[in-house]
């Protein structure tokens, strides 16, 4: 592995742009023969040496048998205004994020439970002890999150106090890194946006709620910068009249979710007593955490080579205000998704959406056992009604949405 941030001098190996010469030189440097059939060349922190990306085209063309992986947390900023020729068609992109809930379970050694989650169906009767165990683990994941260092420490020591220290250090490190991708005068505003999003998850973003003293354009630039860095994810409103959803998105209307639910809890000051040891779903931030959790799971549903996108739908008519938390595209289907933090909650907004869009399938995530229900809503200004199927899933099945929704739609 070559780390260009820690050892910037390593980029000198790539000046000649000849793959075989590069590998020969690296073999001498590392005192190991780099066999293309037994070696992966891992270029870490590639954003510190962006010109090296241009060399990847020559690996693709002249040395295709040698696998090369380039990774960098701020790579998108380098690609925004490249000062070099990008090897178009020679690079395969993979977008990565925090560990998912199922990854978290595997880290804790819950392999049997993960296998059960991947095979359980809506028609199965789930014993209450298993359901409660899964809900308790969901709440645990909400507090711990999916940052690898945090999960690794908790899996080994089960120490909530220490993982809070690690999460606070990660939050501070992100803020300390802002100088890498922001003009000096933007530092305070970037910090303000970064610290505001955890408390604004689930809400339509209003620039004045972030910083009433900054210009809207400046706040929007900071939001876009952090979104580009995958530190936050903007959730844009879409008309949701059909697919693709992005074709009907409105860039002016959006919500946001944070990088990671565990970091969100750390930013909000939530602790073990409030989330894990407190009464079920009795804390004030449960709604935003539920929406954050589901949003993170939905980002995992897209292929890793697709830039992650999230959409929602809102109607701000004074007489008929409604909002559906997420709207996703799955194959050729459009699926509205409601998120309820507890076991109950009205579906007024979802009914409004289903009536207006004349859709026949919807999903709800909550803390109850899975179920499949048939509901009916009256069509607006029509002497008829529409019947739709509501797939209700507990949070721990969020990553199984593709499999379970396909089974219900067939």
Q: What burial class does residue 337 get, using C-beta atoms within 10 Å of its C-beta: 0-12 exposed, 13-18 middle, 19+ buried?
A: buried
By C-alpha distance, which of 252, 256, 236 is closest to 244?
236
Domain-embedded: residue 42? yes
* Sheet with 371-378, edge to edge strand ranges: 326-330, 333-339, 361-366, 385-394, 371-378
Domain-embedded: residue 88? no
Residue 217 is predicted with a pLDDT of: 93
- Model confidence at 303, pLDDT cuts 50, 70, 90, reads confident
Residue 363 is predicted with a pLDDT of: 96
254 shares a domain with 105: yes
Residue 83 is predicted with a pLDDT of: 61
206: which DSSP letter?
Answer: -
Q: Which residues of 34-49 are buried (b: 16+ CB within 10 A; e: fewer)?
A: bebeebebebbbbbbb
Q: Which domain holds residue 358?
A: 101-409
- Model confidence at 19, pLDDT cuts 50, 70, 90, reads very high
- Model confidence at 342, pLDDT cuts 50, 70, 90, reads confident
Angle at 279 between CA 273 and CA 285, to 5 degrees: 70
At 171, list the tokens.
Answer: 């939050």
- Model confidence at 275, pLDDT cuts 50, 70, 90, reads confident
pLDDT tens-digit readout, 187-203 = 889 899 999 999 999 99
Residue 382 is predicted with a pLDDT of: 59
Cβ neighbours around 218 below 10 Å, total: 15
Residue 179 is predicted with a pLDDT of: 72
Residue 81 is predicted with a pLDDT of: 59
- Model confidence at 410, pLDDT cuts 50, 70, 90, reads low
Domain-embedded: residue 231? yes
Q: What number is the average pLDDT over the span 237-257? A: 94
255 shares a domain with 151: yes
pLDDT tens-digit readout, 149-190 = 999 999 999 999 899 999 999 999 988 877 765 555 678 898
Q: What is the pTM of this model?
A: 0.90
Q: 3-state class of 316 per DSSP?
A: coil
Would you say residue 75 has pLDDT above 60? Answer: no
At 344, list the tokens.
Answer: 């109950």
Q: What DSSP element (H or E) covers 295?
A: helix 286-301
Report the phi/psi class of residue 365: left, alpha or beta, with left for phi > 0 and alpha for psi in -120 to 50: beta
Q: Can the peptide bond before residue 244 be classed as cis, meaning omega within 30 degrees of 0?
A: yes
150 shares a domain with 66: no
Residue 181 is predicted with a pLDDT of: 58
Return the percentage of the chain with pLDDT > 70, whole number.
Answer: 90
Kindly compute the dihedral angle of the four CA atoms of residues 183, 188, 189, 193, in this order, to the nearest 10 degrees: 120
152 shares a domain with 8: no
107 shares a domain with 59: no
Alpha helices in 90-177 (DSSP H): 101-107, 111-117, 128-144, 148-157, 160-176
129 shares a domain with 30: no
- Which of 80, 114, 143 is where one domain is finished? 80
33 shares a domain with 175: no
160 shares a domain with 24: no
68 shares a domain with 139: no
| 209 against 186, higher pLDDT | 209
Domain tally for the chain? 2
| 149 against 333, higher pLDDT | 149
CA distances to 97, 182, 223, 326 from 13, in Å: 30, 29, 37, 47
Q: Which residues of 82-98 are buried (b: 16+ CB within 10 A; e: fewer)?
A: eeeeebeeeeeeeeeeb
Domain-embedded: residue 95? no
- Which of 29, 45, 80 is where one domain is finished? 80
130 shares a domain with 33: no
Rounded Cα distance between 161 and 150, Å, is 11
pLDDT tens-digit readout, 276-300 = 776 666 666 789 999 999 999 999 9
Rounded Cα distance between 198 and 205, Å, is 12
179 shares a domain with 34: no
pLDDT tens-digit readout, 86-98 = 666 677 888 889 9
Average model confidence (pLDDT) for the chain? 89
Would you say residue 378 has pLDDT above 80? Answer: no
Domain-embedded: residue 265? yes
Return the percentage of the chain with pLDDT > 90, whole number.
Answer: 62
HSE toward the beta carbon, residue 187, CA cutoff 13 A: 8
| 78 against 281, higher pLDDT | 281
Domain-embedded: residue 218? yes
At 264, list the tokens.
Answer: 């969100």
Domain-embedded: residue 141? yes
Rounded Cα distance between 20 and 17, Å, is 9
Residue 187 is predicted with a pLDDT of: 82
Q: What are phi and psi of 393, to 5 degrees?
A: -125, 140
Q: Can the peptide bond before residue 54 be classed as cis, meaning omega within 30 degrees of 0?
A: no
Residue 192 is predicted with a pLDDT of: 94
Lowest mean pLDDT among 86-90, 141-145, 303-307: 86-90
Rounded Cα distance between 229 and 161, Å, is 29
105 shares a domain with 76: no
Residues 6+ apart with CB under 8 A from 181: 74, 77, 225, 229
Residue 67 is predicted with a pLDDT of: 93
Rounded Cα distance between 20 and 62, Å, is 8
Rounded Cα distance between 70 and 92, Å, is 10
Alpha helices in 31-110 (DSSP H): 52-62, 75-80, 101-107
Report the phi/psi class of residue 54: left, alpha or beta, with left for phi > 0 and alpha for psi in -120 to 50: alpha
Domain-embedded: residue 123? yes
Q: What DSSP element (H or E) covers 69?
A: strand 68-71
């Amino acid at each position: 592995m070559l780390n260009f941030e820690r050892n910037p001098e390593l980029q000198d190996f790539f000046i000649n742009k000849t793959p075989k010469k590069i590998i020969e030189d690296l073999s001498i440097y590392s005192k190991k023969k780099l066999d293309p059939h037994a070696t992966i060349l891992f270029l870490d922190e590639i954003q510190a040496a962006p010109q090296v990306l241009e060399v990847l085209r020559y690996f693709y063309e002249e040395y295709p048998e040698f696998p090369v992986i380039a990774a960098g947390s701020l790579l998108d900023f380098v690609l925004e205004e490249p000062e070099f020729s990008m090897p178009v068609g020679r690079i395969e992109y993979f977008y990565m994020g925090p560990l998912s809930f199922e990854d978290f379970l595997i880290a804790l050694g819950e392999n049997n439970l993960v296998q059960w989650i991947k095979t359980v169906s809506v028609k199965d009767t789930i014993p209450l002890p298993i359901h409660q165990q899964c809900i308790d683990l969901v709440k645990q994941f909400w507090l711990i999150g999916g940052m690898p260092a945090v999960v690794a420490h908790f899996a080994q020591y089960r120490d909530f106090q220490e993982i809070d220290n690690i999460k606070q250090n990660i939050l501070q490190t992100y803020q300390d890194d802002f100088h890498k991708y922001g003009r000096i005068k933007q530092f305070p505003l970037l910090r303000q946006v970064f610290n505001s999003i955890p408390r604004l998850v689930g809400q339509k973003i209003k620039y004045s709620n972030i910083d009433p003293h900054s210009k809207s354009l400046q706040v929007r630039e900071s939001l876009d910068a952090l979104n580009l860095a995958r530190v936050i994810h903007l959730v844009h409103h879409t008309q949701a009249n059909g697919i693709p959803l992005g074709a009907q998105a409105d860039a002016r209307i959006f919500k946001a979710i944070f990088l990671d639910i565990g970091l969100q809890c750390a930013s909000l000051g939530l602790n073990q007593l409030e989330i894990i040891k407190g009464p079920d779903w009795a804390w004030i931030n449960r709604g935003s955490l539920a929406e954050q959790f589901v949003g993170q799971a939905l980002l995992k549903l897209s292929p890793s080579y697709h830039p992650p996108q999230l959409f929602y739908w809102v109607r701000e008519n004074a007489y008929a205000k409604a909002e559906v938390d997420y709207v996703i595209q799955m194959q050729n289907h459009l699926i509205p998704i409601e998120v309820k933090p507890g076991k109950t909650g009205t579906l007024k907004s979802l009914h409004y959406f289903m009536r207006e869009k004349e859709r026949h399938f919807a999903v709800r995530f909550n803390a109850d056992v899975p179920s499949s229900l048939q509901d009916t809503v009256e069509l607006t200004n029509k002497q008829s009604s529409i019947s739709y199927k509501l797939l209700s899933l507990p949070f721990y099945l969020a990553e199984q949405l593709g499999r379970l929704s396909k089974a219900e739609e067939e």
